[in-house]
Structure 1
């Protein structure tokens, strides 16, 4: 099974190449920049740090995917290889990431308009049957969410297509769509398992986010964990580092196995 094999590949590569954890640590620290303003009380500096991270992230991601590929293949998984791969693919990854975000926002807005129109219809239903109106509202919301997730699933491999197969920006999205369409059952199962397990490693970060909001984790969870920001921040970085390093190595391994059983002609 491709999914199980990819998870095994990721674990093997991570054990043999600690450099992947070093890059994961960089990602884990970078992901915490959104909380800078809460620590130094400077929203402007926080916004600048977050924006800088968004620009730098495609560089780190490209370098990581290239290094993970080398680790899986048993070749040169080094910092030199990381920076070389990152520089080579940075511009295309940056443009593709912007396109991905625009695609996500465009889909969310377009589907949101449709959901809004359907919501107007539920108001008429409410005058007849409140339960039917409630079911229709929940159904339209779920349809909106599932539709967005489906779009993301089909284009998710744009980054690996660029780094591993050296595709152009537009061809990377076509390649991703072609691979998912041809392996829909496998990709759906992998995506659900991958996202679910990855989010387990981001629980400390979610707790940190709740701690820094007016709501707080005690109002969401049945117990108050009583963990200060000084504890949650480094724990969040550590868990994010391990989670990113392992699961994006798995992600890379899965893509490599996927293209091994799929003809390259599917990218057109």
Structure 2
């Protein structure tokens, strides 16, 4: 089974190549930059660091996928390989990341507008049957959310297509869609397992979000855990590093296994 084999590949590659943990640490630390203003009380510095991270992330992910590929293939997964892969694919990954965000937000806004129109109808329905209006609202929300997730699932492999197959930005998205269409059941199962398991490693980060939110953890959880942010922040960085390193190595291994069994994208005429 491709999914199970990919998770095994990820573990084997990570155990043999600790450099992947270093790359994961870069991402783990970067993901915490959004909380820096809570510690130093400088929202402008926090915003600047977060923006810088958004620009740097395509560089890191390109280097990581290239290094993970080398580790999975049993080649030299070194810092030199990391920076070479990162520099080679950075511009395309940056442009593709912007396009990915535009696709997701465009889908969310477009479907949100449709939902707004349907919401007006639900208000009219509420005058007749409140329960029916509530059910219609919930169904509309679920359709909106599922549609966004489907779009994300079909275009998710744009980065691996760029790094592993050296695709252009547009070809990377075409390749991702084609790969998912050709392996829909497998990709759906893998994506669900990957997201659920990876989010386990981000529990400290979610606790940080609750700690620094206006609501506070006590209003979200039945009890106040009383865990200080000074403890949660380094824990979040450490677990994010391990989680990113392992699950993105699995992600890379899964894509490599998929392209080995998937047909090429048909040429457009």
> TM above 0.5, one fold?
yes
Tell me by how many angstroms 1:218 deviates.
1.5
Moved over 2 A (4+): 264-268
Q: Which structure 2 residues correspond to residues 21-100 of structure 1 after superposition, within 5 A?
A: 21-100=21-100
SS in structure 2 of the partner of residue 264 of structure 1: coil
User: Who is 1:177 aligned against?
Assistant: 177
What is the alpha-carbon distance in structure 2 between the residues aligned to residue 163 and residue 70 of structure 1? 12
Give 1:76 shift.
1.0
Task: Tell me, in whole angstroms, the C-alpha distance in 2 between the residues paired with 1:266 and 1:53.
Answer: 36
1:222 pairs with 2:222: yes
* Aligned residue runs from structure 1 range 158-197, under 5 A: 158-197=158-197
**Could you tell me how far 1:239 is from its partner in structure 2?**
0.6
Matched with 1:151 is: 151
Which deviations, in whole Å up to 9, do the C-alpha atoms of 1:211-234 show, x marking residues without a partner?
011111121111211100100000
TM-score under structure 2 normalisation? 0.98
User: Match of 2:13?
Assistant: 13
Consecutive unaligned residues in structure 1, runs of 5 or more: none
In 2, Cα distance between equivalents of 1:227 and 1:266: 54
**Distance of 2:72 and 2:267 partners within structure 1:** 23
CA positional deviation for 1:264: 2.2
- In the alignment, what sits opposite 2:132? 132
Tell whether 2:227 aligns with 1:261: no
Deviation at 1:35, TM superposition (A): 0.7
Q: CA RMSD in A?
A: 0.9
Alignment match, 1:247: 247
Per the normalisation by structure 1, the TM-score is 0.99
Asked if 2 retains the 8 angstrom alpha-carbon contact of 1:172 and 1:267, the reply is: no
